Amino acid sequence: MSVEPVILIEHLYKEYQTDAGAVPVLNDVALSVMPGEFVAIMGPSGSGKSTFMNILGCLDIPTSGRYLLNGRDVSAQSPDELANLRNQVIGFVFQGFNLLPRASIEDNVALPLIYRGADRGERIARAGEMLEKVGLAGHRHSHPNQISGGQQQRVAIARALVNQPRLILADEPTGNLDTHTSEEIMALFRELNQRDGITIVLVTHEPDIAASAQRLVRLADGRIVYDGPMSLAHAAIEAPA
């Protein structure tokens, strides 16, 4: 019995149109991520990892190639269907937290539920549950600017989890945090992966952070140069691109 991959990418290309002509960013990328995997994507700046992440998250569209998310061909989806995918299949965690500054912690966490059409009672209950999970139950009525960066990232993770997605995409989630807080956040990710079986794809440039993952994908100049277990990857991490 075969398990379907959460992410299946084949021959993916992405070019940006500039005045100087087309600039290739991703060049024949292939990737398959199975449910429950914890994958770290690494690479130097300009390697295309952010673009790759945006395509994985259905925020950007590839120039060509195939991308099956949860078995559905993303290129065949309408903008509204893409929004629904982002809402229910994917949970985003960003480097800059990306919380709404004017909304309370609870409202921030509940926001994806609004777009799913959940009623108020369910929204409050689910948001409370998620905040409990990330250890911020006492802050539900605070505002983002009243809590620390680490706490804000926890709120963002709670928001990402609120619709029970199969996949969490984290783009440099510890980029704005100190080492200690970073480790706490990574512990949370590991717990989500191991206990709840949530698939996680993480972009980072810090080897310590990437070490939480079981699998490493290394990008350079728009190509995958390494894809394998983290334990065998030290050479790949340390090696110059």
Residue matched to tokens 């993303």: 74
Shortest distance, CB of residue 192 to another protein, whole angstroms? 17
Please identify, using beta-carbon distances, which residue of 89 and 237 lies nearer to another protein.
89
Could you say which DSSP state residue 98 is in? Answer: -
Site for another protein contains 100 (CB under 8 A): yes
Strands (E), the chain: 7-18, 21-33, 38-42, 64-69, 72-73, 90-93, 167-171, 199-203, 215-220, 223-229
| Residues in region 158-187 near another protein by CB under 8 A | 159-160, 163
Mapping DSSP to helix (H, G, I), strand (E, B) and coil, where does residue 75 land?
Answer: helix
Site for another protein contains 16 (CB under 8 A): no
Site string for another protein, 105-134 (x = CB under 8 A): --x---xx-xxxx--x--x-----------
User: How far, in Å, are 43, 94, 112, 211, 218 from residue 223 at the CA level?
Assistant: 10, 23, 33, 21, 8
Identified binder of another protein from the candidate list 8, 92, 167, 215, rule CB under 8 A: 92
Identified binder of another protein from the candidate list 30, 68, 103, 236, rule CB under 8 A: 103
User: How far, in Å, are 35, 78, 161 from residue 196 at the CA level?
Assistant: 11, 30, 11
Shortest distance, CB of residue 52 to another protein, whole angstroms? 13
Site for another protein contains 80 (CB under 8 A): yes
CA-wise closest residue to 95 among 209, 198, 16 = 209
Strand-strand pairing, 38-42 and 199-203: parallel
Site for another protein contains 87 (CB under 8 A): yes
Site for another protein contains 49 (CB under 8 A): no
Site for another protein contains 59 (CB under 8 A): yes
Using CB under 8 A, list all residues that contact another protein: 54, 57, 59-60, 79-80, 83-84, 86-88, 92, 94, 98-100, 102-103, 107, 111-112, 114-117, 120, 123, 159-160, 163
